[in-house]
Structure 1
Amino acid sequence: MLNLFPKFSVALATAALGAAITSIQAQASIVTYDFTVNVTQGSLAGQSYSGTFSYDDSTLKGTGVEKLGIEQGLTICMNYFGRNYTEASDRDYPKFPTLVFENGEINQLDFWVQPQNRVVWWNLPGWEVKLSKRQAGSDVANCQER
């Protein structure tokens, strides 16, 4: 009977670990935002751009600065000058794009499709970014269909 106890303990620990992993996976969800960028200053004043991005929130802790990239499920579709761009269009793909959070809040989307040096446009003066979180379960538009 003593020999059965270690096997039972291993089986119980394995079952508990499996339940914990399933519980963690059940808490993860895909979050989608629509965004619009209105340029109010500079050579692009009067232009407007729009898009969506989605990410898996399972790795976020909600404290400090956190970054999500394509390895964490970040997807993007942005219409810029009448053309659609996806995350694979980023100048420095696959290292970028990234979505940056500060204490659980979206701080910036670092997404650059121009051949020139990377510019973080998200927080530039004269670039007004408006975010709108989609309801869970909403359809995400295919970037090719826009």
Structure 2
Amino acid sequence: MKNLTFPSLIFQGSVVAIATTVLTSTVVETAQGATVTYTLEGTVTSGPLLNQTYSGIFSFDDASLTGSGDEFLTVDTIFVNFNGSTFTKADATVPPEVSFFEGDFLGLSFSVSQDTPPLSFSFIPGFFDVTESFVSYEENTLAGDGNVI
């Protein structure tokens, strides 16, 4: 099992909302490859959702992973509890995916936007390393994000 911790990055001059995320991975071998499952949890440490916690789980099949260059794999299943609501793949503004560079996990790409209450959030992978990943959110026009510890 891997534990990866996520914290703060300033995103387009927004109000900083630092979130700490812990990812834990589990690999289940299948005939097509391996289904990899990560769990995540965190606490928003600034902004309008100060001290709100979130958690979730997502899975993907890594059978097509080559370990060379930039690679993006579709997330098969995702459940994220954020600000009192549960969000799934059906709620995503674009299909969720995980990113890899040279075989190294860079993070989750998952974005949700809802009207009532006005809330959007995104998990954004790193560019070259998982420590560059961050989470960003906006509630009622007040925005925040955080970079990775």
Look up the SS of the partner of 1:60 in the other structure.
Answer: coil
TM superposition shift of 1:60: 0.6
Cα distance change of structure 1 residues 38 and 83 upon mapping to structure 2, 3 Å threshold: same
Gaps of at least 5 residues in structure 2 are 1-29, 125-132, 136-144
Q: Count matched residues.
A: 99
Cα 1:77–1:56 shift into 2, 3 Å: same
Instruction: Describe the shift of the 1:105–1:40 C-alpha distance in structure 2 as closer, same or farther (beyond 3 A).
Output: farther
Unaligned runs of 5+ residues in structure 1 are 1-24, 130-146
Q: TM-score, normalised by structure 2?
A: 0.54
Query: Please, what is the CA RMSD of the aligned residues?
Result: 2.8
**d(CA) in 1 for partners of 2:50, 2:104:** 27
- Pair member with larger Rg: 1
Quick one: distance in 2 between partners of 1:114 and 1:40? 21
Normalised by the size of structure 1, how large is the TM-score? 0.55
- 8 Å contact kept, 2:112–2:122: no
Cα shift readout 1:35-55 (whole Å, capped 9, x = no counterpart): 113222333231211000001
Structure with the bigger percentage of strand: 2
Indicate how the Cα distance of structure 1 residues 117 and 76 shifts in structure 2: closer, same or farther if over 3 A, else same: closer
Is 1:97 paired with 2:117? no
Q: Decide which structure has greater helix share.
A: 1
